[in-house]
Structure 1
Amino acid sequence: MPSNEARLVLVTGATRGLGLAIAERLAADGYRIIATGRQPSDALDALIKENPSIAFRALDLGDHESLHPFCTALKEEFGPLYGLVNNAAIARDGVLATIHDSEIAEVVNVNVLGTILLTKYAQRAMFQKTGRQTDARIVNIASVVGTSGASGLSVYGATKAALLGFTRSLAREVGRIGITVNAVSPGYMETEMSAGLGADALAKVVRRSPLGVLSEVQDVAAAVAYLLSDDGKRVTGIELKVDAGATS
């Protein structure tokens, strides 16, 4: 097995929150990391200074025309990809009847179409040579909302449910060439994305949890690290929930 130092992993939406935690954990495990976002953040810049194995490259999943050349340039600059962590996503809270059509389109274009197109081109960047069998990993960050549902998150939940279907079918499609595809579904965590829920709503989630806690970004990052590791090489097509049992 090659060492993690030879393995390049692309982590989208890695400038803050969960994506930043995933990049930090994978870098600690010895991977080379390409962290993406629309623009860098102070937190990511600080992490890069501490760990030169992390590099930032700007990427906007809503700009579909840029995804193919992005992946081509990435392979030319850094070599073949070992892993892709599809973490980048956006949410627009609100009752469906009041959400503007443009906001619905934006969420679907980024969370579903952008993710699928990036995966298409990143998969090509995983081959050492055209058509050669490879050893690679794809991890899609879904959400428990994709299966359990949540009021005010119908569009976001629909996109995450789509990722679960995408995960299962793609796993069957690319398994024969040595690529595993899995999904990690976080529960509610104290991140920027959940900040709008408020303390009372998060307290209700804690009460539903058998463990009596919220999941943390480090817990989800650890699940991603497992699926990327040699220990996870025989795991594909699954959804791994990390929600402290709140939806069990």
Structure 2
Amino acid sequence: MLAVAGLGKSFGGLKAVSDVSFTVMPGEIFGIIGPNGAGKTTLFNCLSGLLPLSAGTVHLDGRRIDGLRPHEICRLGLARTFQIVRPFHGMSVLENVKVAAFARHPASAAAEQHARLALGRVGMAHLADLDAERLSVAEMRRLEIARAIATEPRLLLLDEMLAGLTATEAAALCEQIRRINAEGVTIMMVEHSVPIISELCGNAIVLNFGEMLASGATRAVLDDAQVQEAYLGSAAS
């Protein structure tokens, strides 16, 4: 579904991401791990068109998408979430998701219908009329995912959606991620928790200082000595 070859992103003399290559197969949950500052969010910004590439190519279903604008990439079926959730001020939960649904459904009634469906998929239908700024941290995470899936993606990029959640909240959100994946959405997720990456992701890559340390089957990646030395340490033992 996604083929990334030699992707690089520089800011002046700083190489934030350098020569990153990997593939994501349809239907999988693919993990991206690495320490803070490793280039994980920069990678997502490049894949989603928010930042232009300095080097390399990105193909979605065989079509080259690097160089396209974010809304063009979204319409081709790639959506992403952001670490810091910023709901639209003065708007309800439903209205927040409806804005995203307009990407596929320009008619207001159709956009609202699909926004309600997206809220149902993340267990927030009962909160549709609530002011979005009154949501808890866990609910904000669900809202962010609802806005992304309202664009009807085939590939969904989740950027640290479990950050700040309790163990119970994280477990519930993991179950919803599984359900979204089971409904036919391929998922890439940035996550710091090794147990969660091990549980959810069949394949993964590890970034460190913008470079790939390892890629492949998740368990083999986590067992890699270089990965453990650079990032996981005793957590992987």
Where on the TM-score scale, by shorter chain, does this alignment land: which range? 0.3 to 0.5
Scaled by the length of structure 1, the TM-score of the pair is 0.34
- Structure with higher strand content: 2
- Structure with higher helix content: 1
Higher relative contact order (CA 8 A, sep 6+): 2
Scaled by the length of structure 2, the TM-score of the pair is 0.36
